[in-house]
Amino acid sequence: MACSLALLSPKHLPVFIEENAEFKAKGLDSINCISINSAFVMNAWKENLLVRDDVFLWSDGNEEFTKAIDQSEVKMVCYVVGDGVVKILNLEEGSDIPVSPTKDMLEAL
């Protein structure tokens, strides 16, 4: 299974990086971050946030993926995918950073 994030801000990512070991202990294979920024911005995030090689950053610069999952207006989407099926889906529409963006995901696993 993979935990994926569709983010609009690099502020969300560090919490998931910090708790990567807990996600792996719950059976997740990888954490993926998808953002509507360019590949150049995503590479800068990787360098500036010291993202390890086991967390993957993906660019959705044209918003093709974001529009395909109908989440253009949402600030953050967290989902767990297993065997090609979304098992858990959390949407954060209000605040920039939820109180505990990983807590609900870890509890649901």
Q: What is the CATH number of the domain that holds 77?
A: 3.40.30.10
CA dihedral 37, 43, 52, 18 (to 10 degrees): -40
* Nearest CA among 40, 37, 28, 39 for reference residue 10: 37
**pTM value?**
0.74
Q: Please provide residue 79's backbone torsions phi and psi, each rounded to the nearest 5 degrees.
A: -145, 150
**How many independent structural domains does the chain possess?**
1
* Residues paired with residue 107 on neighbouring β-strands, in sequence order: none
Separation CA 72–CA 1 (nearest Å): 24
Residue range of the domain that includes 46 = 2-108
* Helix, coil or strand: residue 109: coil
Q: How confident is the model at residue 5, as a pLDDT? A: 56
Tell me: the pLDDT tens digits for 26-72? 888 888 888 888 899 889 888 888 888 888 888 888 888 888 877 77
Residue type, 63: E
pLDDT at residue 98 greater than cutoff 60: no
DSSP assignment, residue 60? -
> What is the per-residue pLDDT for 40?
92
Average model confidence (pLDDT) across the chain: 77
For the cut 60, the answer to whether the pLDDT of residue 95 exceeds it is no
